[in-house]
Structure 1
Amino acid sequence: MQNDDVFDRRVLLAGLGAAGAFAATRSLRAGDLNPPAGPISPTMKTLDEIEPRTAINAQNTPGDTDCLYRISQPGSYYVTENLHGESGKSGICIDSENVKVDLMGFSIVGAPGSLYGVFVRSFRRSIRLHNGSVEQWGLDGVNLVDGDLSGVNHEVDAVFVSQNNGRGIRVGANSVIQNCIAFNNGTIGISGGVNAIISHCVARTSGNVGIAGGAGGTMMHCAAEQNASHGLFTSNSGLVLHCNSLNNEGNGIHVGVASMVSHCTAAGNTISGIRLNGRSIALNNVCQSNNAVGDGAGILISNARNRVEGNNCVLNGVGIRATTGGHFIARNTCSGNVVNWDIAANNACLVVNATLGSAFAGNAGGVSTGSTDPNANYTY
């Protein structure tokens, strides 16, 4: 009998617990049926909260006498459709600092007699443009420096510039250009100011230099092909790394004083593959089939105190040419050039005609290359 009482109490407690849980669940599901005091207001996010950026259009960014659209306040802006230019006007003018423009994959297309595609009309900082195309403008496609005044701290990313009569892209000091393609622009394809970094870009068939960098600038993982002047050009203290420059009408890679060119390929360029202008380094590059005309070379060394090391120069008019003394030239190889070496007096340069061995297979064979000097250059 006592056990039956315990069992009944347990059943009763379990039933009360289930009823309480059910009641709690119902209370959680049901909200207050009485509205709060005060005026009724929306509970959903506003359009500004969903898309905080500003669309570029005639209502939000009205133009003026020189521009179709004008950005006058800092903030984030975006394009909603292809934009078409007019004679005598630029496409988008930016008259503020700290502006980001997302082209959203659309194109800004110029017209005969038009001005700039995207233009900064005075000294401005921190302009970012990305993700679209700027084509067929009467002057530059993208110009963020207001003529000769250099705006700073700009970024252009993933922009295709084509068939503009001036430069494709032009930015000022301390700026970044990346993942861009410049095709068939009238002057320089891509141009960066002092200390600018240009990476993963391509310039083809420009009317002048393919890619140009200012003093202290860096180019890396870029390609230049079939441009009407030099393929890649930097001013003093430039750095060119892991780039290709092919079939340009000037030098493949032309650098100013105190610069470095490393791990690049220069082939088929009309004058020289690589041109050094004093106190510079060319390290571990390949130069082939350059110097069709003139006094160029696979690598042309001028002024003084250049270091040329570990390069392979083949099938050029001249392999390596030093027009002055005072250079250190080591561990390079030349083969199949019309003239393999043309070295002026007073240079540190030992050239050995490499000994060629007979065929062999297995674990040993061949002959010494002809020198035990670790800095020797070889003709083979």
Structure 2
Amino acid sequence: MPRAFMLIISMLLYFPVQVFADFYVIPGGGPPAGTEIRSTPYIISSPGMYFLKKNLSCPAGTHCITIAADDVTLDLMGFSLSGSGGTGNFDGIHIVQRKNVEVRNGTILNFQRNGVMESGATFLEGRHRMINLRLYGNGVNGISLASELNTIIGCTATHNASTGIYSGAGSVFRDNVCSYNKFGLMAAHYASVIGNSCTRNSLIGIFCGPQCLIVDNVAILNGSRNIYTQASVLERNLAP
């Protein structure tokens, strides 16, 4: 084998390489920068990076993780947050009227109300990002963001009692799967809804306010309507 090739391989193995991907990558296998959440309930009150290193269960009668600061990234690192089920007003991740929050890479299931919930932020710029989340079996919605200008990418929301994924005006919904909810995906006005699959929801697959861009989606086998909107652009959707 040529010596130059061997030298390149040796350098790649010896020096950590940062990989830019949807999942948080730890160069060289070292600990991530940030704060580990080791138990719940937990309140994030300062900006920064927070992460899990194991599955966590949340006791009844409280939100599991409350985000009470702007500019927060919460990486579940492939682990899960589990609720106790039943009825009540408690969420897996509860965002309190904040901006620039990112939640990614994990499963949020069986909470009394919502998997991810933002309160008190209607008509405000949230600029949140929800990436690679699995929302399953929550008592109301999988994701519910009241603010505007949010991005939801690569999430799967199934078997939630009301809506799989909802976000306010001007938001982007891309490459999500929403099935076996009442409403699959709900977007306020001026949204971009691209490349999502919303099937077998009991009422409506994709429900959008006016003046949305709705392109390249699959919405079939929903109970009442596959896609419902007004005064929007619809192109190349599979929605008979």
- TM-score, reference length from structure 2: 0.82
Structure 1 stretches of 5 or more lacking a match?
1-48, 267-286, 288-380
Cα RMSD, aligned residues only: 1.7
Q: Which runs of 4+ in 1 moved over 3 A?
A: 145-151
Equivalent position of 1:53 in the other structure: 34
CA distance in 1, matches of 2:124, 2:164: 18
Q: Is 1:200 aligned with 2:181?
A: no
Residues 226-305 of structure 1: pairs in structure 2 closer than 5 A: 226-256=200-230, 258-266=231-239, 287=240
Structure 2 stretches of 5 or more lacking a match?
1-29
2:46 counterpart (34, 48, 73): 73
The amino acid across from 1:135 in the alignment is L
Post-superposition offset of 1:192: 1.4
Residues 152-231 of structure 1: pairs in structure 2 closer than 5 A: 152-171=126-145, 172-206=147-181, 208-231=182-205
Post-superposition offset of 1:50: 5.8
TM-superposition CA deviations, 1:187-209 (whole Å, max 9, x none):
01011110000000010010x21
Post-superposition offset of 1:146: 4.0
The amino acid across from 1:253 in the alignment is I
The amino acid across from 1:262 in the alignment is E
Greater relative contact order (CA < 8 Å, ≥ 6 in sequence)? 2
1:134 counterpart (89, 105, 108): 108
CA distance in 2, matches of 1:179, 1:80: 22
Decide which structure has the larger Cα Rg and report it. 1
The amino acid across from 1:53 in the alignment is G
State, as a whole percentage, how many aligned pairs show the same letter.
24
> 1:144–1:151: 8 Å Cα contact kept in structure 2?
no
- TM-score, reference length from structure 1: 0.53
1:93 counterpart (57, 66, 72): 66
> 2:123–2:148: 8 Å Cα contact kept in structure 1?
no
> 2:115–2:141: 8 Å Cα contact kept in structure 1?
yes
The amino acid across from 1:57 in the alignment is R
Post-superposition offset of 1:177: 0.1
> 2:107–2:135: 8 Å Cα contact kept in structure 1?
yes
Across the two proteins, how many residue pairs are aligned to each other?
A: 208
> 1:211–1:233: 8 Å Cα contact kept in structure 2?
yes
